[in-house]
A and B are shown apart, each in its own frame.
Chain A
Amino acid sequence: MIELTPWDLVIASSMIILLAITSLLLQLNIAKQLIIAAIRNVVQLLLIGYILKLIFNSINLFLLAIIASIMLLVAGFEINSRQKYPLKRWIGFKIGTSALFISSFAMALLTLMVIVAPTPWYSPQYAIPLLGMLLGNTMNGISLGMDKLNQSVYQQRLVIEQRLMLGQSYQEAIHEIRSESIRTGMIPIINSMAIAGLVSLPGMMTGQILSGTPPVEAVKYQILIFFLIAAGTGFGIMLAVWMIAKRMFDDRQRLNLDILQIKR
């Protein structure tokens, strides 16, 4: 494999700076966000690069559990960011994290203990990238589904109340919104499965090929990952959307949007 020198990265970063300058000149207001994201990206990735180097040298279940928990908590926290009608912080964190935990960890354990089954099963070289991909994608899905759910329920609250008045259960009254939200959350993963190989070469596969893995081996891994991500994302979104929808009604099936942070 051709190793990258710092200069290679400097050249690539000059493209980002060029983009930032262009957007400043055009007054597009994205320069600051772009630069911050780029700096965060460098710092976070360098940091994890060194941490991974450390962990890969010492196979330790306890250490792995700590890293996995940090990944889970950060993803759980980020779910509720950038929402139009976010849930109240603590509720959003609780629901997001538990949905993530159940779906992503189940898929990761299935892979590590049954499908790929490295020895030991908690080999960090497999466990961490796998969990990372599962958490990242599931987080995106839940976040999109949640955004759609909260926004639709808030905007259609009169319709939901009308349906309740007509004697429908809360499950019936919110049924269409709930399935639309789950569908919205699933769009990215379904899209990327559908175009994989025709339009885009998925990142993990590209990485493996660049580092010298035979293409067919890389493809097999990529298929495995796609299936796991799709299943994990789907179950995660369903869990989160069901939990939130339930919390939006009280014990007498009245719509109660106290769990949303409504900015007035």
Chain B
Amino acid sequence: MPDLTIKNLNLSSISSNFSQFFNFTVPAGTCMGLSGPSGIGKSVLLKALADMLPHEGEICLDDVESQTIPAQQWRQKVALLPAESQWWFDRVGGHFQHFDEALFASLGFEKEVLDWQISHLSSGEKQRLACIRVLMNKPEALLLDEPTANLDQENRTQMESLILNYQKRHATPIIWISHDKEQLSRICQQLLTVEKNHFNITSIGPEQTEEGVFA
């Protein structure tokens, strides 16, 4: 049961908006929504949690601190799905080691998607395929940067249920950036609101409110 625990995380060296020290836990199998004004650095926070940016403080998955294992191993465990996915081969298939029929089908793709050209994909298709690509790595924690931003209602529902099913099976802690308050209250138990130099954590749903640490 992996909890994602953040202790004294400080990002002041990379963002002037973050003088505070982050301390919070995303318990196994729960989802923390992340919201705040655009440009405040929500994506920066997620990148730091995936150890893609230099930071001070500790990020632990269960008892494993990020710096104690090789960076690539950490990023396989704590997977970041960026807002805009990148593709480097000509066709979809090049980006997947194998084909997982059930996983692709859950977002409405059939096997021939592997032959599709990347340049012909819509932004929504890219977003759905990027989500599949991340889940195929079997991550133990998920950091999602507006995963459903380019999707219509139907695809959004499919994607949400795919991710929540994965979470249910693997007790995955998730941090989910979204500007959609309704979506957050639907899928999250806690809400992390970041503002300039402070943040607070509220519970969405039955649990009681817990204040964040101010710097």
Contact = CB atoms under 8 A, between A and B. Distances in A.
B137 A166 contact: yes
Chain B interface mostly: loop
Given A156-B88, A167-B137, A252 B51 contact: yes
Contacts of B134: 166
B84 to A, nearest CB: 8
B85 interface: yes
Contacts of A98: none
A165 B72 contact: no
Nearest to B50: A165
Among B76, B86, B133, max chain A CB count under 10 A is at B86
Nearest to B85: A162
B82 interface: yes
Interface string A156-169: 10110111111111
A162 B51 contact: no
A250 interface: yes
Among B53, B72, B75, max chain A CB count under 10 A is at B72
B54 A165 contact: no
A88 interface: no
Contacts of B121: none
A83 interface: no
B80 A163 contact: no
Contacts of A168: 72
Interface string A244-260: 00000010111000000
Interface string B40-80: 00000000001111100000000000010011110110011
A166 B71 CA distance: 11
A254 B134 CA distance: 19
Nearest to A256: B54
A250 B52 contact: no
Given A165-B82, A166-B75, A176 B88 contact: yes
A167 B140 CA distance: 13
A241 to B, nearest CB: 18
B142 to A, nearest CB: 12
Contacts of A250: 54
Given A167-B137, A168-B72, A253-B71, A161 B52 contact: yes
Contact of B72 (A156, A167, A176): A167
Nearest to A163: B88
A123 to B, nearest CB: 52
Contacts of B133: 166
Nearest to B86: A162
A164 B82 contact: no
A169 B54 CA distance: 17
Given A176-B88, A254-B71, A164 B54 contact: no
Nearest to A177: B88
Contacts of B54: 250, 252, 254
Nearest to B139: A167
A44 B70 CA distance: 52
Contacts of A254: 51-54, 71
Interface string B129-156: 0000110010000000000000000000
B127 to A, nearest CB: 13
Contacts of A169: 72
Among B71, B76, B84, B134, max chain A CB count under 10 A is at B71
Contact of B86 (A158, A167, A252, A253): A158
Contacts of A159: 86-88
A253 B84 CA distance: 21
A168 B76 CA distance: 8
A252 B71 contact: yes
Interface of A: 156, 158-159, 161-169, 176, 250, 252-254
Please name the 9 residue pairs, one residue from A and one from B, whose CB atoms are nearest each other, closest first: A167-B76, A162-B86, A252-B71, A253-B71, A159-B86, A167-B75, A159-B88, A165-B80, A169-B72
26 contacts: A156-B88, A159-B86, A159-B88, A162-B82, A162-B85, A162-B86, A162-B88, A163-B86, A164-B52, A165-B52, A165-B75, A166-B75, A166-B76, A166-B133, A166-B134, A167-B72, A167-B73, A167-B75, A167-B137, A169-B72, A250-B54, A252-B67, A253-B71, A253-B72, A254-B53, A254-B71
Given A165-B50, A166-B137, A252-B51, 5 more contacts: A162-B82, A164-B72, A165-B80, A168-B72, A250-B54
